[in-house]
Amino acid sequence: MSPTAQSTASARRVVFPFTAIVGQEEMKLALLLNVIDPKIGGVMIMGDRGTGKSTTIRALADLLPEISVVANDPFSSDPSDPDLMSDEVRQLLEQGAEIPVAHKKVQMVDLPLGATEDRVCGTIDIEKALSEGVKAFEPGLLAKANRGILYVDEVNLLDDHLVDVLLDSAASGWNTVEREGISIRHPARFVLVGSGNPEEGELRPQLLDRFGMHAEIHTVKEPALRVQIVEQRADFDQNPPVFLENYKPQQEALQEQIVNAQQLLPEVKIDYELRVKISEVCSELDVDGLRGDIVSNRAAKALTAYEGRTEVTVDDIHRVITLCLRHRLRKDPLESIDSGYKVAKVFSRVFGVELPESDVAQKNGTGQKLGARG
């Protein structure tokens, strides 16, 4: 390897490969489906400390293929999609100007707990705007996260107002900053991923409901699996280039599968009867609003596209419905039944399928449900 190539390789941060992560299938599935269809609305990951939440999210961002962006644009505007362009780029396009195109990795933006609203949304330099007649906008983290992943660790400790701002931007795809009568907006379409430890408090139900999916993760109990995870981490730390080379074929195959799924998604169909049954499950579980219905439909379609098919099956719905609904149930403090089991039980009754052993084990507390497949 030449000195230049070596310095380029060392300049890029080495990230543990996504396909090498053992267990935590529920979290991995939720993240992949949100990347295939960002309109699912993000993922809330709740679980024990040290279960690889940050590692998995960084690995996913690193896995994703490069995207085309407008060169030197602070918002990573898409050169071909007006919905993902800043107003300035759209004006240049309408004027027939040539748009310089560059390629870059999908951004993963970490939101620090102590971040202020200005740091998140961006600021307008009022003095400059008034004296020079220009909109002097300093972009914030939402601008950086456009077309990428915005990760908020310990989201349950973040100020509710800031969580609201993030969720509003994620839902609308735009961030608007207003100061002293001056208003600036820019595209802010990102996959919002929040994580937290239930011991440190829950999110308010109104905010929790706005996350598309909710994955629960637990410390792996099986000794053999724990040893495998420890050994893999040791191998990676000892010689990252060799470890990455070993996983290169799996990484490339998964990357291709994601790209194919994104292209196939518009063709995926879900039968009317299945849509009615999804709504029946939501109704029986007394889920407020229609977000649960919408997200369950979207997630089932994304899973179908991920597996290279165009017709949603009952099994597809079963594998995503708990992830989409468990955080939308009204929780009775005296209720001992796990909300995931409750969703699975109603699903099996409405769809007329037998409750899988993994769901029964979850209710009895005798098994750890790692995968979404029953």
The per-residue pLDDT for range 150-165, each reduced to its tens digit, is: 998 888 888 888 888 8
pTM for the complete prediction? Answer: 0.84
SS3 346: helix
Q: Where are the domains of the chain?
A: 18-64+106-220, 266-357
Distance CA 320, CA 9 (A): 38
Helix-then-strand count for the chain, H and E: 17, 11
Annotation: CATH topology of 266-357: Helicase, Ruva Protein; domain 3 (1.10.8)
- Fold classification of 18-64+106-220 is Rossmann fold (3.40.50)
Indicate the angle between helix axes 248-264 and 291-306, nearest 10 degrees. Answer: 120
Give the active site residues: 291
d(CA 43, CA 191): 8
In this predicted structure, what is the pLDDT of residue 13? 72
Sequence-ordered alpha helix ranges (H) in the chain:
3-11, 25-36, 53-63, 87-94, 117-121, 126-132, 141-145, 160-172, 205-208, 223-238, 240-246, 248-264, 272-284, 291-306, 314-325, 339-351, 357-364
Q: Please name which of 115, 94, 97, 106 lies closest in space to residue 163, comparing C-alpha atoms.
A: 115
Taking the CB of residue 41, how many other CB atoms lie within 10 A of it? 23
Burial (0-12, 13-18, 19+ Cβ within 10 Å), 131: exposed
Residue with tokens 């089932």: 300
Average pLDDT, rounded, for the chain: 83
Q: Tell me if 18-64+106-220 shares its fold with 266-357.
A: no
User: What percentage of the chain has pLDDT greater than the value 90?
Assistant: 33
Residue 359 has pLDDT above 80, yes or no: no
**Which tens digit of pLDDT belongs to each residue from 215-249?**
988 888 888 888 988 888 899 999 999 999 999 99
Q: Which of 78, 297, 41 is nearest to 169 (CA)?
A: 41
- The mean pLDDT of 43-65, rounded to a whole number, is 86
Q: How many residues does the chain have?
A: 374
Contact 108, 151 (CB under 8 A): yes
- Average pLDDT rounded to a whole number, residues 3-26: 68
Cα–Cα dist 251/224, whole Å: 24
Q: 83: pLDDT confidence band, cut at 50, 70 and 90?
A: confident
**Do 302 and 273 touch, CB atoms closer than 8 A?**
no
Phi, psi of 191 (to 5 degrees): -90, 115
- How far is the C-alpha of 281 from the C-alpha of 345, rounded, in Å? 10
Query: How confident is the model at residue 225, as a pLDDT?
Result: 85
User: Do residues 153 and 110 make contact, with C-beta atoms less than 8 angstroms apart?
Assistant: yes
